[in-house]
């Protein structure tokens, strides 16, 4: 029978059996690099072959995973002298050439074209599967992994065994074709065929790289987070700014003076609920899910001009007449930019705006710190873990942050943090018209005493209010004092 006919026959048999369905791609992948040690990737070793192309492809996966903060896990086979020289391991009786893979030898060293960095994981094993007799399953679970991307050597041995056990351990699995190698083409092709049919999706390198890139900024919203919205005394409103759909929590009353509330860099609208609900006897709070956060869309741009345009869209889309703008942190910078454009407002309240900018000191919280918290949230965090970073916050606010931080876009955080140092608050601040109020924490590292003095000098018409003992997160650190100061500022604007 011709080869093409035999292939068609096999395909129809597997299709009739119900094999070959597509594997779901989760939002929290990990990259497992199987046994790309010199004993497998260099032909000079008894167990090796020239896997230059496969190592190059694996290096591209590792580089992309690192760029996207996807965990990288290397595996290696290594035997003690007693194991290598003895007769206790059945696999070494069947494959005695593997005895050369001794602990500390060149054969078990990672291929020099790859690099194990601090933060990468290493799993040492005695058998084909990286799961058998190791802590790999526990490690992947602790990392919050839902999808395992597998590459390495050899395709018909350790790669196949690892991929099969990954599926049996509950992980959706992708095997990257160009990043897997074997000593011979036949076993390589057969292993990939079988994996694709029964256990994993065998994907091209470009597809795997795109997947790692996309998942790094895949925002998530869990069922418990969605349920939080049902407990709010607010109505969801929607407006469009260009092509970006924006979500607004409207606390009413409908005839109240509108106050557009603009949260901080990693604060979806729901996290300002405890502030908004304390203002409804005075005003009509409308809390914006800033683009790239909460329920609002992602966007191409996250600069002050784009954020200010969103404020305009909310005003126009909801028909708000002479609103008050109230922003905290990033939101305060947005309020300043929007107010400086000349839109008729009743007034502004800026709470602890970042004063960093060109030629000034860096923003006190590093980008790595923000992204580390985001990774925790996407992995699955809880209020206790949040409390380690924010011990002064009320418990409910710690719980909300744990449930909602994963709804924030990594790109939005990265671009906004860069803007804290490339866009100067003092370009806008002197042009913010009166009446305007400037609230700041007495212990804030963002608005220091010198920063507050400069802000007062640059806009003499502003009224400044210090919140004693509060850090940058003034409403979370000192809720009673900060809310009292905000309410007093709003009374003066009515």
Shared-domain flag, residues 33 and 181:
yes
Cβ burial, residue 79 (10 Å; 0-12/13-18/19+)? buried
Q: How far is CA 17 from the centre of its chain?
A: 39
User: Could you report the per-residue pLDDT of 63-114, keeping only the tens digit for each?
Assistant: 999 888 889 999 999 999 999 899 988 989 998 888 888 999 999 999 999 9
Does the reported pTM lie above 0.95? Answer: no
Shared-domain flag, residues 195 and 248:
no
Shared-domain flag, residues 177 and 228:
no
Shared-domain flag, residues 355 and 462:
yes
pLDDT at 343 over 60: yes
Q: How many domains does the chain have?
A: 2
**Active-site annotation holds for 151:** no
Structure tokens at 271: 């996290």
Shared-domain flag, residues 290 and 379:
yes
Helix (H), strand (E), coil (C) string for 432-452: CCCCEEEEEECCCCCCCHHHH
CA separation for the pair 417, 62 (Å, rounded)? 26
CA distances from 485 to 24, 351, 413, 457, 477 (A): 50, 10, 29, 21, 14
Kindly write down the DSSP assignment for every residue of 283-346, as one continuous string: SEEEEEE-TTSTTSPP-S--SHHHHHHHHHHHHHHTT--SPEEEEETHHHHHHHHHHHTT---S
Residue 153 lies in a domain: yes
Shared-domain flag, residues 176 and 244:
no
Shared-domain flag, residues 441 and 336:
yes
Structure tokens at 76: 């290696």
Last residue of a domain, one of 145, 180, 215: 215
Buried b (16+ CB within 10 A) or exposed e, 364-377: ebebeebbebbbbb
pLDDT at 3 over 70: no
Question: Which one from 151, 158, 180, 408 is the annotated catalytic residue?
Answer: 158
- The answer to whether the beta carbons of residues 354 and 329 sit under 8 Å apart is yes
Shared-domain flag, residues 341 and 487:
yes
User: Residue 77 belongs to a domain with what CATH number?
Assistant: 3.40.50.850
Residue 287 lies in a domain: yes
Residue 49 lies in a domain: yes
Mean pLDDT, residues 413-442: 96
pLDDT tier for residue 216 given thresholds of 50, 70 and 90: low
Buried b (16+ CB within 10 A) or exposed e, 137-161: bebbeebbbbbbbbbbbbbbbbbbb
User: Could you report the per-residue pLDDT of 22-75, keeping only the tens digit for each?
Assistant: 898 888 899 999 999 999 999 988 888 999 999 999 999 999 998 888 899 999
Residue 2 lies in a domain: no
Tell me the pLDDT of the chain averaged across its residues.
93
Residue with tokens 């809880």: 382
Residue 3 lies in a domain: no
Shared-domain flag, residues 440 and 343:
yes
Last residue of a domain, one of 185, 215, 245: 215
Last residue of a domain, one of 215, 249, 268: 215
Shared-domain flag, residues 462 and 320:
yes
Tell me what pLDDT residue 7 has: 52
CA separation for the pair 213, 274 (Å, rounded)? 36
Shared-domain flag, residues 57 and 138:
yes
User: Could you report the per-residue pLDDT of 227-286, keeping only the tens digit for each?
Assistant: 999 999 999 999 999 999 999 999 999 999 999 999 999 999 999 999 999 999 999 999
CA separation for the pair 195, 20 (Å, rounded)? 9
Residue 151 lies in a domain: yes
Residue 246 lies in a domain: yes
Residue 4 lies in a domain: no
Shared-domain flag, residues 154 and 264:
no
CA separation for the pair 378, 69 (Å, rounded)? 11
Q: Tell which residue, 485, 426, 492, has the closest CA to residue 459.
A: 426
pLDDT tier for residue 1 given thresholds of 50, 70 and 90: very low
Could you list the residue range(s) of the whole structural domain that residue 415 is in? Answer: 223-493
User: Residue 259 belongs to a domain with what CATH number?
Assistant: 3.40.50.1820
């Amino acid at each position: 029978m011709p080869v093409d006919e035999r292939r068609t026959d096999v395909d129809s048999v597997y299709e009739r059996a119900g094999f070959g369905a597509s594997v779901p791609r989760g939002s929290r992948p990990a990259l497992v690099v199987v046994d790309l040690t010199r004993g497998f990737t260099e032909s000079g070793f008894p167990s090796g072959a020239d896997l230059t192309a496969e190592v190059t492809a694996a290096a591209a996966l590792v580089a992309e995973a690192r760029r996207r903060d996807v965990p990288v896990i290397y595996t290696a086979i290594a035997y003690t002298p007693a194991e290598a020289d003895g007769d206790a391991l059945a696999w070494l009786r069947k494959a005695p050439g593997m005895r050369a893979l001794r602990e500390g030898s060149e054969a078990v060293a990672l291929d020099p074209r790859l690099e194990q960095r601090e933060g990468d994981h290493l799993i040492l094993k005695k058998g084909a599967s990286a799961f058998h007799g190791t802590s790999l399953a526990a490690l992947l679970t602790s990392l919050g992994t839902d999808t395992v991307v597998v590459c390495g050597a050899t395709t018909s041995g350790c790669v196949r065994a690892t991929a099969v056990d990954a599926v049996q351990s509950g992980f959706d699995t992708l095997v990257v074709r160009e990043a897997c190698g074997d000593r011979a083409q036949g076993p390589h092709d057969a292993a990939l065929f079988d994996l694709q049919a029964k256990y994993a999706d065998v994907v091209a390198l470009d597809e795997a790289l795109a997947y790692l890139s996309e998942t790094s900024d895949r925002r998530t919203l869990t069922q418990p987070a969605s349920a939080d919205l049902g407990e709010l005394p607010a109505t969801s409103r929607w407006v469009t700014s260009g092509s970006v759909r924006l979500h607004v929590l409207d606390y009413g009353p409908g005839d109240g003076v509108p106050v557009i509330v603009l949260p901080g860099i990693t604060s979806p609208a729901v996290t300002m609920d405890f502030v908004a609900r304390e203002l409804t006897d005075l005003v009509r709070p409308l809390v914006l899910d800033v683009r790239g956060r909460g329920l609002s869309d992602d966007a191409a741009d996250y600069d002050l001009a784009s954020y200010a345009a969103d404020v305009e869209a909310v005003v126009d889309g909801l028909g708000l007449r002479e609103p008050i703008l109230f922003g905290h942190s990033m939101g305060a910078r947005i309020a300043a930019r929007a107010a400086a454009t000349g839109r008729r407002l009743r007034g502004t309240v800026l709470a602890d705006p970042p004063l960093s900018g060109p030629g000034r000191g860096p923003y006190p919280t590093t980008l790595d710190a923000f992204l580390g918290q985001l990774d925790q949230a996407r992995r699955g965090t809880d209020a206790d873990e949040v409390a380690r970073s924010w011990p002064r916050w009320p418990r409910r606010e710690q719980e909300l942050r744990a449930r909602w931080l994963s709804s924030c876009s990594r790109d939005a955080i990265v671009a906004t943090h860069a803007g804290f140092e490339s866009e100067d608050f003092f370009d806008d601040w002197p042009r913010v018209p009166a009446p305007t109020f400037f609230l700041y924490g007495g212990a804030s590292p963002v608005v220091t005493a010198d920063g507050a003095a400069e802000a007062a000098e640059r806009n003499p018409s502003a009224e400044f209010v210090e919140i004693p003992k509060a850090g940058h997160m003034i409403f979370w650190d000192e809720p009673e004092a900060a809310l009292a100061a905000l309410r007093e500022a709003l009374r003066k604007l009515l």
